[in-house]
Structure 1
Amino acid sequence: MRAAHLHACGEPPRAVDVADPVPGDGQALVAVTAAPITPLDLLCASGTSYFGEPATPYVPGVQGVGTVLESTSYAVGTRVWFPTSAGMAPGDGAMAERAVVADDELVPLTGSVDDVHLAALGLSAIAAWTALTLSGGLTPGDRVLVLGSSGIVGRVGLQAARLHGAAAVFGAALEPGAGDEATALGADGFVQLRRDEDVASLARRMRDVVGEVDLVLDPLCGVPASAALLCLAPRGRLVNLGGSAGDAATFSSAHLRSGARRVIGYTNNDLSAAERHAAMAAIEEHAAAGRLSVPYEVFPLDRADEAWAHQQRGEVRGRAVVAP
């Protein structure tokens, strides 16, 4: 079969011929139809992640969509979404014509959404959805600020907040044109982030737009998170699920304690299988109804190296998806 092999950390994977994988006990064999290139894929393949340097060569792809070829839990032909530990632990991932996956990791799909679009949503959509609802405790009437609203997590965050009855939703991002995109996704206001701006200045500009908010979805950390913390209403929550703007944020102890405000860390790895299934089911349902969408570009497996390079340089609008 054809698979994308990453031969050395820091290099893009390249399509090669390899032997078909053979599932073991408790494993399923999946014919892969779509595998997105995510920030986690890029981080793991750089050799600098907190998981350590991966053994090479390996097939990247921390998630995928496909159909079951062999399984003890699902019928042949069942359409599924699945995660993998590629780059985080020994073993291959989804960027191949076939993948071996733990049976209990498979999430059955209805098939109501195009495989490539669902792959583009994938773990990023699950993260945004559950960070808001499970970790952040989003309730109808909350005012929500989504940092990094131009990314996949942020785009889903804007839409998910509205779907869950938020009274007001605000976006914040660095990229030019991100304000128009946030408005098109239902944002009530937008904060244009600037490079090298200090916390106090950004906090003043944020408050002018958002006033106070009950919940912040934060995939950025750094200065944007520090400023957003100063916009939290009493009993407000900031849920952090990334650090693309910096590894550390600052907060005032007095501000945090005086309003019983909370800072919460989020990771998909903490989700139970039932929570992951429920999130994906909701995401698929809303995507099928046109209420949830993200942009993506499709690349054939033999152009995996090109897709990887484009995603790494930020030249893809949304998510690059490899379609074996």
Structure 2
Amino acid sequence: MRAAVLHTHGEPPSHADHPDPVAAEGISIVRVTAAPVVPLDLLCASGTSYFGQPKLPYVPGVQGVGVVEQSEVVSPGTKVFFATSAGMAAGDGSFAERCAVPDADLVVLDTPVPDPEVAALGLSAVAAWMSLTWRAQLRAGEQVLVLGGGGAVGQVAIGAARVLGAARVVALIRSDAARERALAAGADEVVAFSTDVDELTTRLGAATVDVVIDPVFGVAATAAARVLAAGGRLVNIGGSGGDAATFSSSILRSRTASVLGYTNNAITPEQRRDAVTAVLQHAATGAIAVAHETVTLADIGAAWQRQATGETSGRLVLTI
């Protein structure tokens, strides 16, 4: 089969021939139709992540959409979303014509949402949805602040907060393009980022928020924690803006506020399935979406480089 094959840690994968996956007990074979290129793919392939160096060569791709070809639990021809452990454990991922997937990681799809859009939403949508519902336990009428509002997680968090009944959704953004994406996702207000934490706190200060969804951390999280309401919850998903933030003990205690962590690795396959299903129900109506563009599998090298340098207009999705 044709695949994106990584031969050197830290270098882009190349479009090449690769052995077909083999079905086994508990393993289904999926013909891949779409797979997003996400930061986790690049991190794992770098060989510098806490997962260790993946054995080479291997096919990256931690998630995808496709059609089941062989399976003992799902009928052939069934459309599915799936997650993989490519780069985190032995085995190949979704950047190929076919992928071997543990049966438990198949999510059967019954949606009119096109495959590339499903892939663009993917695990970013799971993180946003679960952070709001499971970790923050968002209640209707609360106010939400989304850090990194122009990113994939941020866009889903904005849309999800609205369908879950948030009274107001504010997005923190870094660029004009991110501003447009956040507004298109449904943000009531956008706030421009500042590296000066006091200045950023002032910009955010007009809104006291109940829930912060944070894929950024760093200065953004430091400022956001200062504007939490009584009983407020900040849920951290990632650290694209830095690995450390500073929180005031007096603010957290006086407001009985919470700082919570979240990772998709901590949820069950059933929770992942339910989150994907819920998000796609709203995506089908246009209430939740992620800006994306499609590229062919043969163009994986250029797509990888664009993801690495941030030269994208949205989520990059390989069509296969």
**Which of the five TM-score ranges fits, normalised by the shorter chain?**
over 0.9
Deviation at 1:56, TM superposition (A): 1.3
* Residue in 1 that maps onto 2:196: 198
In the aligned structure 1, how far is the partner of 2:265 from the partner of 2:250?
Answer: 32
Instruction: Please give the per-residue CA displacement for 1:127-150, whole angstroms capped at 9, x wherever unaligned.
Output: 001111110111100100000001
Which of 275, 284, 290 is the matching residue for 2:271? 275
1:9 counterpart residue number: 9
Distance 1:163 1:93, change over 3 A: same
Alignment of structure 1 residues 177-196 onto 2, 5 Å: 177-194=177-194
User: How does 1:121-270 map onto structure 2 within 5 Å?
Assistant: 121-194=121-194, 197-208=195-206, 210=207, 212-270=208-266
Task: Output the CA distance in 2 between the equivalents of 1:181 and 1:88.
Answer: 31
Give 5+ residue unaligned stretches, structure 2: none
Structure 1 contact 5–15 (Cα < 8 Å) conserved: yes
Read off the aligned partner of 1:83 and give its amino acid letter.
A
**Structure 1: 4+ residue segments shifted above 3 A:** none
**1:28 matches 2:18:** no
* Structure 1 position 111, deviation (Å): 3.9
Contact 1:140 1:164 in 2 (8 A): yes
1:316 partnered with 2:283: no
2:108 counterpart residue number: 108
CA contact (8 A) 1:308 1:320 kept: no
Change (3 A) 1:18 1:186: closer
Q: Give 1:44's aligned residue.
A: 44
User: Are the counterparts in 1 of residues 181 and 291 from structure 2 also a CA contact under 8 Å?
Assistant: no
Aligned-partner residue type, residue 315 of structure 1: E
**What displacement does 1:181 show?**
3.2
Contact 1:6–1:14 (CA under 8 A) maintained in structure 2: yes
TM-fit CA distance, 1:304: 1.0
Task: Determine if contact 2:28/2:68 at 8 Å carries over to the other structure.
Answer: yes
My pick for the range that moved more, 126-135 or 292-301, is: 292-301
Q: Find the residue that maps to 1:216 and give its secondary structure.
A: strand
1:52 alignment partner, SS class: coil
In the alignment, residue 204 of structure 2 is paired with which amino acid?
Answer: M
Partners of 1:103 and 1:150 in 2: how far apart?
33
Q: Distance in 1 between matches of 2:190 and 2:36?
A: 28
CA-to-aligned-CA distance 1:228-251 (integer Å, 9 cap, x gap): 000000110000000000001110
Cα deviation 1:57-110 (Å, max 9, x = unaligned): 110000000000111110000100000000111110000000000011100001
Cα distance in structure 2, aligned partners of 1:239 and 1:179: 22
Q: CA deviation at 1:311?
A: 1.6
The SS at the match of 2:176 is coil
Query: Counterpart of 2:53 in structure 1: which amino acid?
Result: E
CA shift digits 1:183-230 (9 cap, x unpaired): 332222111003xx222221111103x2x1000000000000000000
Deviations, residues 275-324 of structure 1 (Å, cap 9, x unaligned): 11111111111111121111111111111111111121111211111111
CA contact under 8 A between 1:159 and 1:292: conserved in structure 2? yes
Q: Are residue 85 (structure 1) and residue 81 (structure 2) matched?
A: no
In structure 2, how many angstroms separate the alpha carbons of the residues matched to 1:187 and 1:21? Answer: 43
Greater displacement, 185-194 / 66-75: 185-194
Q: What RMSD, in angstroms, separates the aligned Cα atoms of the two structures?
A: 1.0
- Taking structure 1 as the reference length, what is the TM-score of the superposition? 0.96
Q: Deviations over 1:102-129 (max 9, x none)?
A: 0111000014111111001000011001
Aligned counterparts of 1:96 and 1:162: Cα–Cα separation in 2: 36
Give 1:164 deviation, angstroms: 0.3
Aligned length: 320
- Asked whether the 8 Å contact 1:213–1:236 carries over to 2, the reply is yes
Q: Secondary structure of 1:249's partner?
A: coil
AA of the residue aligned to 1:206: L
What secondary structure does 1:23 align onto? coil
Q: What one-letter code is carried by the residue in structure 2 that aligns with 1:167?
A: A
